Copies of this chain bind each other. A is one copy, B any other.
Amino acid sequence: MITTENVKNGVNVDQLMATIEAVQGNPELAKFKFRSKNNWIEGGNCVSSIKSFYGVGEEDTTRDKTFTLECDHPQVLLGKDKAPTPPEVILHALGSCLTGAMVYHAAAQGIDIDAAESSMEGDMDLQGFLGLKPEVRKGFNGITFKIKVKSEATDEQLEELAKYSPVFDMIVNPTPVQIVFER
């Protein structure tokens, strides 16, 4: 028997529709918990390990490897420049998430995405981080995300799809962070 998978933009649309139906039947399946462990090396150099997550009603057993990510700082920020800074990593996560959200939702709606590339820039005033001016914020004042997409859909349609991005939501809206010290 030959079966043809219905794949659009690299997304298996049959599986996507089945997932949506399954979640509609049992909203508990939509609850996910993502995790990361972080080890401090020295200064602003840290290494994270990412593997376990909870979703689709159980602890995941399919991921068979641990992803390792690193952060460091360039020389002008007193680091050894072994890896990108945390704010640069945020830009990577944001760009990937906006693009992925656009691609998945386009697939669900039958819209072809033939190509996509983007660039991001965030501006920051380090007087905030250094504690020199309390009125200056510590993070980016703003981020500009420029994306080139090859698709017959309009900019307005594509922007609406991209905005389903979980990371976009976490950046433009407040997300509570609980800090717990253990000894």
* 20 A–B pairs (Cβ distance < 8 Å), ordered by A: A16-B78, A24-B132, A37-B120, A38-B95, A43-B100, A43-B103, A44-B103, A46-B99, A50-B84, A53-B88, A63-B74, A90-B90, A129-B164, A137-B169, A139-B168, A139-B175, A140-B166, A141-B176, A142-B177, A168-B177
| Copies of this chain held together in the complex | 2
Tell me if A6 counts as interface (CB < 8 A to partner B).
Answer: no
A179 proximity list for chain B (CB < 8 A): 98, 145, 147, 159, 162-163
Select the residue from A99, A123, A142 with max chain B CB neighbours within 10 A: A99
The 0/1 profile, CB within 8 Å of B marked 1, for residues 13-35 of chain A is: 00110011001100100111111
Cβ of A110 within 8 Å of any chain B Cβ, yes or no, is no
Across-interface contacts of A9 in B (CB, < 8 A)? 42-43
Q: Which of A62-116 contact B (CB under 8 A)?
A: 62-63, 65, 67, 69, 71, 73-78, 81, 83-101, 103-105, 113, 115-116
Main secondary structure on A side of the interface with B: mixed
* CB-contact partner of A139 in B20, B141, B173, under 8 A: B173
What is the 8 Å Cβ interface bit string for chain A, positions 119-163, against chain B (1 contact, 0 not)? 111111111111110000111111111111100000100110011
Smallest beta-carbon distance A62→chain B, Å = 5
CB–CB B10/A183 < 8 A: no
State whether A124 and B166 are in contact (beta carbons under 8 Å apart), knowing that A30-B130, A46-B96, A143-B176 are contacts in the complex.
yes
Contact of A93 among B12, B74, B93, B123 (CB under 8 A): B93
Q: Which residues of B contact A86 (CB under 8 A)?
A: 93-94, 96-97, 100, 165-167
